[in-house]
Amino acid sequence: MASHSPEHIKTIEQFHRFRSLSGPVHPLVSVVRFEDMQYLSNGTSSWVLDFYAIAIKRKFHSKLKYGQQVYDFDNGVMTFMAPGQKIGIDAESNITLEHSGWLLLIHEDFLWKTPLAKGIRKYEFFNYSVHEALFLSEQEEITLEAIIKNIKMEYERSIDSFTQNIILAQLEVLLAYAERFYKRQFITRKIANHGVLEELESLLNQSFSKENLLTNGLPTVQSVANALHISPNYLSGLLKTLTGKSTQEHIQDKLITHAKELLSTTNLSINEVAYSLGYTYPQTFSKLFRIKTAYSPAEFRKSFN
């Protein structure tokens, strides 16, 4: 299978040329159908975009590659890409690409000096991995597709002073629906998601063993996510929905539980407890302990005497 260097695409107009589409109507916003995109080539094709890309894909009889992993998407899914991310398609020569759907492209310059320029960063799904895509129900797909069509219809009108605000309003509605549907996905995939909770509990128990703390130090959100093969943002979103706590809070709760055990069952000094938990500075440990329990470590220990 041939390998190609990523294509760096800086503008929406360049993307249209890259995929053999007619020129965009608006230089900073574009909605295109996957059916209209020309198949690139056999082998692996990848690219880096300098703008946001939101896609709804159906019948995607190919493999989407993210990092070193390849994923099959045969059902309707929605993906989100922030500027600068790399993505590619790994399509075998004997596969006919018949995927359909919509691709919405939004350049950062379109958001310049608007609340969404910073507000878009709160939507963590732009940093989810490809295998953490949003799987849509039929009704959800209809809802989102209608919004994307409205954006297309708006910029195809005569562009005036209302155009940008109307498109931005539609985009915010689209993102709000996507956030709602991701919450639904976290909840409805109970078996898989509760499996993640069990894995997280086991992983944290192992991480706070004396040997692991001495070797690896305190677990971090990134190290926990890597061990679970989940992106940090997706893991935190999942945990917040299921438990009301972020990944960092789960790590801290496990640390406090372990600290309480050491304080109540050993003669280690407060500093020694802090060091054994992976802290370089005991005062940092004492501050977190007071925040979490309303007691200093010494006060907590005294309550057992």
Summarised one tens digit per residue, pLDDT across range 75-104 is 578 989 899 887 765 544 444 455 688 999
Query: Mean pLDDT over residues 24-53, rounded?
Result: 81
Query: Mean pLDDT over residues 258-287, rounded?
Result: 90
Query: Mean pLDDT over residues 190-216, rounded?
Result: 81
* Residues composing the chain: 305
Which pair of structure tokens corresponds to residue 295?
A: 């007691």
Q: 105-148 pLDDT, tens per residue?
A: 999 999 999 999 999 989 988 888 767 888 888 889 999 999 99
In whole angstroms, how large is the CA radius of gyration of the chain?
A: 24
**Can you give the pLDDT at residue 269?**
93
pTM tops 0.75: no
CB atoms within 10 A of CB 203: 16
Considering the chain, tell me which residue range(s) the CATH 1.10.10.60 domain(s) occupy: 212-302
Distances (CA, A) of 42 to 46, 87, 143, 229: 12, 16, 34, 29
Query: Mean pLDDT over residues 219-245, rounded?
Result: 89
**Can you give the pLDDT at residue 164?**
94
**Can you give the pLDDT at residue 88?**
64
For residue 42, name the pLDDT band (cuts at 50, 70, 90): very low
- In whole angstroms, what is the distance from residue 15 CA to residue 10 CA? 8
For residue 192, name the pLDDT band (cuts at 50, 70, 90): low
Q: Which residue intervals of 82-220 are DSSP H helices?
A: 108-111, 115-119, 138-156, 163-188, 190-207, 210-216
Q: 164-185 pLDDT, tens per residue?
A: 999 999 999 999 999 999 988 8
Higher pLDDT pick, 70 / 303: 303
CATH class of 212-302: mainly alpha
Considering the chain, tell me which residue range(s) the CATH 2.60.120.280 domain(s) occupy: 7-188
Distances (CA, A) of 24 to 12, 74, 166, 205, 296: 7, 29, 19, 54, 62
Q: Which residue intervals of the chain are DSSP H helices?
A: 12-18, 108-111, 115-119, 138-156, 163-188, 190-207, 210-216, 221-228, 232-243, 247-265, 270-276, 282-293, 297-302
What 3-state class would DSSP assign to 5?
coil
β partners of residue 275: none
- Mean pLDDT of the chain, nearest integer: 83
Query: Mean pLDDT over residues 238-265, rounded?
Result: 90
CATH number of the 7-188 domain: 2.60.120.280
**Can you give the pLDDT at residue 18?**
85
Q: Are strands 86-91 and 134-135 parallel, antiparallel or unpaired?
A: unpaired
**Can you give the pLDDT at residue 288?**
93
**Can you give the pLDDT at residue 72?**
42
The closest alpha carbon to 102, from 120, 125, 76, belongs to 76
- In whole angstroms, what is the distance from residue 153 CA to residue 169 CA? 14
Chain-centre distance for alpha carbon 303: 43
